[in-house]
Amino acid sequence: MNSKRALFEGFHDRMNDAISKNFCLEASWYAYAILEDRLVSMLRQSGGIGVNGSQTAIKMLGPKLRELRSRARTDRLLAENFPETRISAWSNERNDLMHAMAEGTLTQTEIDKKAYLLATQGRDLVKDVSAAAMRLKKHRAKVL
């Protein structure tokens, strides 16, 4: 097993452990990292890790989503395996929570509730996006 695989398996374990211990912001951080990795896999399987297939990796979630959305317009297999709406919605919830925390506009109880939902929804999204990335890789190999 290579070290990246072991690292990300550890991320999965730590995400689940963090949720079980109610460390929901930590769990969300792991979910975000795993999602970024799975989007890189989808980019790789749909023409390359960079914009327009370049080898310069796209660094942030938003630009990755935009590039994949663009590719999905002409790539049916990608379009069928890219849950862009769910990823965007989760990412927006994460950003909204972080800004609300920084601005002090939520009570601690509200923060805890939103953090729990973010973590558990992130865990479910990680599972679905990981499966989608694997389907894309598996079926892309059959197409090529």
pLDDT in tens, 1-48: 569 989 999 999 999 999 999 999 999 999 999 999 999 999 999 999
Question: Helices (DSSP H) in 1-144: which residue ranges?
Answer: 3-20, 24-45, 61-72, 76-80, 84-103, 108-143
pLDDT tens track for 96-112: 999 999 999 999 999 99
**Is this prediction's pTM over 0.85?**
yes
pLDDT tops 90 at residue 141:
no
- CB burial class (10 A; 0-12, 13-18, 19+) of residue 144? exposed
pLDDT at 143: 59
Q: Is 84 helix (H, G, I), strand (E, B) or coil?
A: helix
The single-letter DSSP state of residue 51 is G
Question: In the structure, what pLDDT confidence band is assigned to residue 144 with cuts at 50, 70 and 90?
Answer: low
